[in-house]
Amino acid sequence: MVQQAGAHLPLLLAEPAPGGPASPPPGGRETALLVLEDGYVLRGRSYGATGRTVGEIVFNTGMTGYQETLTDPSYHRQIVVMTAPHIGNTGVNDEDPESSRIWVAGFVVRDAARRASNWRARRELEDELISQGIVGIADVDTRAITRHIRERGAMRAGIFSGDALPVGAQYLGDEALASLVRIVAESPAMSGAALAAEVSTDETYVVEPLGDFEGKEPIARVVAVDLGIKSRTPYHLAARGARVYVVPSTASFADIEALKPDGVFFSNGPGDPSTADREIGVLRAVLDAGIPYFGICFGHQLFGRALGYGTYKLDYGHRGINQPVKEVATGRVEITAHNHGFAVDAPVGEPSVAPFESGRYGRVEVSHVGLNDGVVEGLRALDIPAFSVQYHPEAAAGPHDGELLFDRFISLMTAAKETH
């Protein structure tokens, strides 16, 4: 990688992946550029739709599950780099999406599969990206990108191809590249972004009990606040006998209370938890009413803030399906799926008194800790029926070590019903 003086700032020009183009690529695919806000530039080939996209660039370490990643609303406004080298070989099917559309802002792969080879495939991945207007880039060194993000932190980036490339950009001309860096640097940052309303359902819908519980009276009624919910979450609750009312992120406590819930769930979702004051007010009303609570990912961060703890942005976040987490009480280590760029700042070790209003919600313990970097991965209230985890026990692509948390939520609701 060499440093080259640009028109207004230094540009870091990285070599393409081995076998990638050293000059504008021959027929088939057009030149595409991946441009980071610090001036780091990679040249590759267009993959998916052509055009321009900007967002926060992050990397995902999963070797499987790209379809679940693409359709996870938590990736809204993020450009996702897949560290696994070969992507698209299993195509796209109609069973694995976590929502009704692709949410990533852009997609970065090293080696794009030429064709799908899987009995479940219904379409080629690139055709799906094109049909949904997702701009991507292939034939770039995703290892180099990942290393750069780990060293410099998550940042804004853009993918440019086709008509979005200014004259001279495909030849890495200084002035053209500097103009692309400016576009990226002027795009919205993830810090301070309130995005839940952009990915939430517009209307309430119901998921009835499934499997052995189908057609029977529900064991519990759960109101799930959709902050970017994945379809696998209500499935897990319904498979355990719950009737799940999925409500918009704008639901008030009165809206929730009217559904007579035995428990309330706050889902995963995109954005900065420091912007979610309204949602936190609703969550505190749930806790004040003594309704059992379970939160995942964004719902975990909002639980932490409701208790009075702070949140902060991680340097480059956790994203992938191979993250070790220890349950503090038992010492059990789970291999878990993650997708978060923010974390809760709570004391690890002995239980602490929740800071909000001098302990209004009593004592709280950090229930789970990430073994890679010590990040808080779970909270459990000791004096009220509420808990949360940062990771994704519902992960459809696996691992499934954390699924027992849904059983724990059912037990919490059942116990609360028996005492009232």
**Which amino acids are annotated catalytic?**
297, 392, 394
Q: Going by C-beta distance under 8 Å and a sequence separation of 6 or more, which residues neighbour residue 27?
A: none
Sign of CA dihedral 215, 231, 324, 384: negative
Residue spans of alpha helices (H) in 231-325: 232-238, 253-258, 277-288, 298-307
> Is the Cβ–Cβ distance between 223 and 243 less than 8 Å?
no
Alpha-carbon distance of 404 to 420, in angstroms, equals 25
> Is the Cβ–Cβ distance between 331 and 300 less than 8 Å?
no
Alpha-carbon distance of 171 to 230, in angstroms, equals 41
Using DSSP's 3-state secondary structure scheme, residue 413 falls into helix
> Is the Cβ–Cβ distance between 146 and 171 less than 8 Å?
no
CB atoms inside a 10 Å sphere around CB 180: 25
Q: Which of 281, 20, 307, 51 is nearest to 159 (CA)?
A: 51
Residue 219: both structure tokens together: 């064991």
CA distances from 148 to 42, 83, 351, 361 (A): 12, 13, 37, 42
Alpha-carbon distance of 247 to 75, in angstroms, equals 20
Sign of CA dihedral 266, 267, 272, 275: negative
Strands, E, within 61-124: which ranges? 78-82, 86-87, 106-108, 111-112
Alpha-carbon distance of 69 to 273, in angstroms, equals 21
> Is the Cβ–Cβ distance between 70 and 96 less than 8 Å?
no
Where b means 16+ CB within 10 Å and e means fewer, 18-34 reads eebbeeebeeebebbbb
